[in-house]
Structure 1
């Protein structure tokens, strides 16, 4: 069963499938190199991106996400302010530091990241990462980003999870959830909490969702206090900051109770703009 920990994840924008998932794939690949004792033998890394990941790759920062993952970063903790400088360094030197700086390899501008129009056979969001020693591929893996930031490698695609934990109220539909509530007298949130307690301690739940709430608040705050234009060729101007200033001014002159809706819209716009800019957001259950 999917936990609320899976549905509400701290990550980065603009897309859970095209940004969060690829970063996790890059991190998993470099972790494999470390675990297998191959890292120090790698002289070059190359990435092939396919299908939907490729067609929207630049707009969704897929290439940046993969590079940052190979560098040893995770979506929940990557320093978003350091990303532009790191990417500029990779592009300028055509070298990439793997696994938090443990080993540096070639990452050519021409064929380090290759975008393909076609799909891999199992899913439209496919990617392959290859580690080379001179002219020989010493490790290669295919990943699929299947939605919501979840990734699966080719060997495990379509397989049922083997580490399922039994929960007291398993469900696959809203109807089943309501039937549990009617038969037990539990509220919807109470029933879900009982399931989560089978997976995590109460302290873990409270600490995790406290962090999620703080991340949401920080995202709103950053979005409504940042000006300029959003990344991309269209150069769309940010609007949340100007809207906030207007609301602060007009609130002093108006008693309209519907003004609160304007504030809610401004908060949503602030998060939307942070997501588009590759900022830190919470998937719920996707960035979209």
Structure 2
């Protein structure tokens, strides 16, 4: 099994990797098919318009997660990693006013969001809770081309055919083929990862690095890792500067700057309690998730809804841990990506599929492993840290109030970061031997997600989403 660090960590925009980045990416793929001359429907005339229908969680929380805006931007030809977040509102207004998009190479196409973008609350697509159907039409409204896409979490997008191939096991065959052509450590489970590490006398980070270097140069890898680091820290810094209310109607106020100002004012005055370090971790995470809620630039870690956990723990390592350095940052991110790949491969990182245990739980597990590795932990201790953090998020629901990635998401990231540091510390105090293997914990998360009622899986139909403050 191999997922690159740049698959797990993607630079994009908020508020959601599955509901914003995924649909934008899917729209981009659909445009590529249209440009590539994919066979159109028999009898269709010249292409003249576009349409989309959103299903499952994409319908129920799509408006709060800006899925409609994401589809518009995708049909305009924009991609999450290069789009300027500050231009989004003007671009959306342009489409709503003109009812037209003009993607490169395809000319002007009719797209009226009021008519051509449908939130289908009644029809669930069979492949995944985050389903969407994209269409192109000719001048008189006949179907020109249609494709079904699934946004499976973390910005990953599959067509219906690709998802079916994966379900049939073709994906496993593909992973085996990839391993045969050059990935030296194709571990598909934590058990395999530990065995390969023991046999090669290599750390998890070094095995992950070797896999990456088999398909890219070291300079490219190092530059990419530092770009991820910089994007994470830039997001924290921007979040710590910003004030005001978050969009969406809940009137949730940004708090990160105020808390950060308090923490700075207490430095050097012997006013801080020992537990104040938790406030630092919380404020770093909250800064990221306030930016995410505002549609700013974030890094999927492994998702947008959980984007604050890992950057917070990485910032904690750099600014608060003895002996922190750039090599430790590399080790942290490579190790975290390895754990994230295992969780995605064997369970899910999608809140719409398994609840928030798959988002904040996975992020906390990844961050715990990364910190443990950066602080010199053995492979066994790293696996233990990842398991501790994930285990204590099992069963966590995804119940965003108003369909917005604000309540409880912002604070939840802070608590996920604190759990990650605690898990890493506990693991470092031991010898790596523990009762519950990480693989079993990941499987428990998968099974729990299957059993979880859909009300608690990013539909805003249960939990906190329906238990609101009384006015």
Aligned-pair distance for 1:252?
4.3
- Give structure 2 stretches of 5+ with no counterpart: 306-471
Structure with greater helix share of residues: 2
Aligned-pair distance for 1:65?
1.0
> Which residue of 245, 248, 273 corresponds with 2:264?
248
Aligned-pair distance for 1:97?
2.6
Take 2:231 and 2:21, find their aligned partners in 1: how far apart are those partners? 16
- Give structure 1 stretches of 5+ with no counterpart: none
Greater CA deviation, 77-86 or 88-97?
A: 88-97
Greater CA deviation, 153-162 or 128-137?
A: 153-162
Structure with greater strand share of residues: 1
Take 2:241 and 2:59, find their aligned partners in 1: how far apart are those partners? 33
CA contact under 8 A between 1:240 and 1:269: conserved in structure 2?
A: yes
SS at match of 2:80: coil
Take 1:193 and 1:170, find their aligned partners in 2: how far apart are those partners? 12
Tell me what 1:19 maps to: 20
Take 1:182 and 1:277, find their aligned partners in 2: how far apart are those partners? 45
Tell me what 1:108 maps to: 112
SS at match of 2:79: coil
Tell me what 1:84 maps to: 89
Q: Deviations over 1:3-53 (max 9, x none)?
A: 222111112222211111111001111122222189x94322111111111
Take 1:67 and 1:99, find their aligned partners in 2: how far apart are those partners? 14
Aligned-pair distance for 1:99?
3.3
> Which residue of 166, 176, 190 corresponds with 2:192?
176
CA contact under 8 A between 2:243 and 2:254: conserved in structure 1?
A: yes
Tell me what 2:319 maps to: none
In the alignment, is residue 55 of structure 1 matched against residue 60 of structure 2?
yes
CA contact under 8 A between 1:127 and 1:142: conserved in structure 2?
A: yes
In the alignment, is residue 233 of structure 1 matched against residue 234 of structure 2?
no
SS at match of 1:45: strand
> Which residue of 212, 215, 219 corresponds with 1:199?
215
Q: Deviations over 1:224-279 (max 9, x none)?
A: 11111111121211111111222222224236465443222211110011111121
Tell me what 2:154 maps to: 148
Alignment of 1:201-216 (within 5 A): 201-216=217-232
Tell me what 1:267 maps to: 284
- How many residue pairs align between the two structures? 286
Aligned-pair distance for 1:199?
2.7
RMSD: 2.1
Aligned-pair distance for 1:73?
1.1
CA contact under 8 A between 2:135 and 2:146: conserved in structure 1?
A: yes
Tell me what 2:102 maps to: 97
| Cα gap change, 1:156 to 1:241, in 2 (>3 Å) | same
Take 1:65 and 1:109, find their aligned partners in 2: how far apart are those partners? 11
Aligned-pair distance for 1:104?
2.1
TM-score, structure 2 length as denominator? 0.57
Take 1:128 and 1:222, find their aligned partners in 2: how far apart are those partners? 36
Take 1:208 and 1:263, find their aligned partners in 2: how far apart are those partners? 27
Tell me what 1:217 maps to: 233
In the alignment, is residue 36 of structure 1 matched against residue 28 of structure 2?
no
Tell me what 2:295 maps to: 278
SS at match of 2:289: helix
Take 1:247 and 1:134, find their aligned partners in 2: how far apart are those partners? 61
Structure with the bigger RCO (C-alpha within 8 Å, sep 6+) is 1
Take 2:67 and 2:236, find their aligned partners in 1: how far apart are those partners? 24
